[in-house]
Amino acid sequence: MKLLSFFVVLMFFTTAARFCHATRSRFSGSREKVEVMKHLNRLNKPPVQSIKSPDGDIIDCVHISNQPAFDHPFLKNHTIQTRPNYRPNWINDDNIKVSSIKDPSKHESLSEKQETITQLWQLNGKCSKGTIPIRRTKKEDILRASSVKRYGKKSSFSTVAQPSSIDPDIINQNGHQHAIAYTEGQFYGAKATMNVWNPKVEQSNEFSLSQIWILGGSFASDLNSIEAGWQVSPDLYGDNNTRLFTYWTSDAYEATGCYNLMCSGFIQTNNEIAIGGSISPLSQFHGSQYDITILIWKDPEEGNWWMQFGNGKVLGYWPAKLFSYLADSASLIEWGGEVVNTASNGQHTTTQMGSGQFPDEGFSKASYFRNIQVVDESNSLKNPKDINTFTEQPNCYDVQMASNSNWGSHFYYGGPGQNPNCP
């Protein structure tokens, strides 16, 4: 009888434990779903209209005063600047163009033909004035992230090239590898023209990008960074399209900042360009080369950092309130490529940087940055006085600096990743 009573009690507690576990699991799942839906509602503001892009994106045209930026506690009562108070005379007002470029070493005209650059969504409509285009976030986008809180953010490990301190353990730990040109000093902006490719990304949690970094502070937890360029990131977007992107952080990627408009911060003023939208056309190996120009500069009156895409489209700005060091000026500018190497099979990734070719392949094969410039204290565009190059593993990804009358200061960069010299 005692033995029977013991088994009855044991079965009761076992059943109760299973019930509690099942209930707890269902509650955790429900809570996660609620958090995902809340985040989607925070990001996806009510649109004035929506446009279905050929690549599957949905672009919502959101009223400019209702964009995610104003959820930031520092920006609750912010008055939108529709244009910079200070507009330097070196900012062009041309339409955005993408150039089919000839080899500069042959001293030919840079522009063989001019085509209006497009994002794929623009083929199916446009957003009216007073609205901005925002790529709609889907539930699947958030579920690919490690957590709701980390959605749209880079790894909290350092992802900025550190030319002055190369530690192989850091390289192996965070997997971020670079091939860049850089200059140190006191700067108020930077500019460059880069050709656009569609590099192969081996693992979905890896990415390949090419960008400008505007940096202030140390490489510790106080790092301030403003970034813009193009990227291929399957985890972030759910595909392998080449997309325009921006990023910012004021604490070394720990808690602040994000890609594009995936958190509050960047204030968009342009109704034609969707940050995060696919870019077209793209450069072809040993074929037509297409490039884009990005300029970031600091308004000396308001202190905000403005971004221009192409030669005339001002996209918007990062308010000075978001930053500590960059509220004043930048101390380091970097241009170039970055990839993530997860080494998932014990070997270096085959994720490509740029075109996937080494820089010595040259024009129409390797990727490039041309006409790289900085903005000085007088708010003038100048050629950098001292430019250095850096890469962690040149047998995987490399960079080569050059200069001529056509392209000014420029460099080729990139590589295939895994190869006989990069096992």
Q: Known catalytic residues?
A: 227, 338
Q: How far is residue 368's CA from residue 359's CA, in Å, rounded to a whole number?
A: 8
Q: How many CB atoms lie within 10 A of CB 103?
A: 13
> For residues 378 and 380, what is the distance between their CA atoms, to the nearest angstrom?
5
b/e burial code for range 252-279 (CB count within 10 A of at least 16 → b): bbeebbbbbbbbbbbbbbbbebbbbbbb
- Judge whether 342 and 175 are in contact, CB under 8 Å: yes
Task: Please give the helix or strand (H or E) that residue 5 lies within, else none.
Answer: helix 2-43
Kindly provide the b/e burial profile for residues 150-163, where b requires at least 16 CB atoms within 10 angstroms of the residue's own CB.
ebbbbeeebbbbeb
For residue 262, the Cα-to-chain-centroid distance in whole angstroms is 11
Distance CA 293, CA 316 (A): 15
Taking the C-alpha atoms of residue 129 and residue 290, their distance in angstroms, rounded to an integer, is 28
Only one residue has tokens 């895994």, namely 418
Give, for 234, the enclosing helix (H) or strand (E): helix 234-237
Identify the bridge partners of residue 177 per DSSP, sorted by sequence position. 339
Q: Which residues are paired to 216 by β-bridges?
A: 224
E strand or H helix at 169: helix 168-174
**Rounded-to-integer distance, Cα 262 and Cα 350, Å:** 29
CB atoms within 10 A of CB 420: 6
Cβ atoms within 10 Å of 331's Cβ, excluding its own = 17
Between strands 111-116 and 97-101, the pairing is antiparallel
**Contact by Cβ (8 Å): 53, 59:** yes
Asked whether the beta carbons of 285 and 365 are under 8 A apart, the reply is: yes
* C-beta atoms surrounding 166 within 10 Å: 12
**Rounded to an integer, what distance in angstroms lies between the CA atom of residue 10 and that of residue 305?**
66
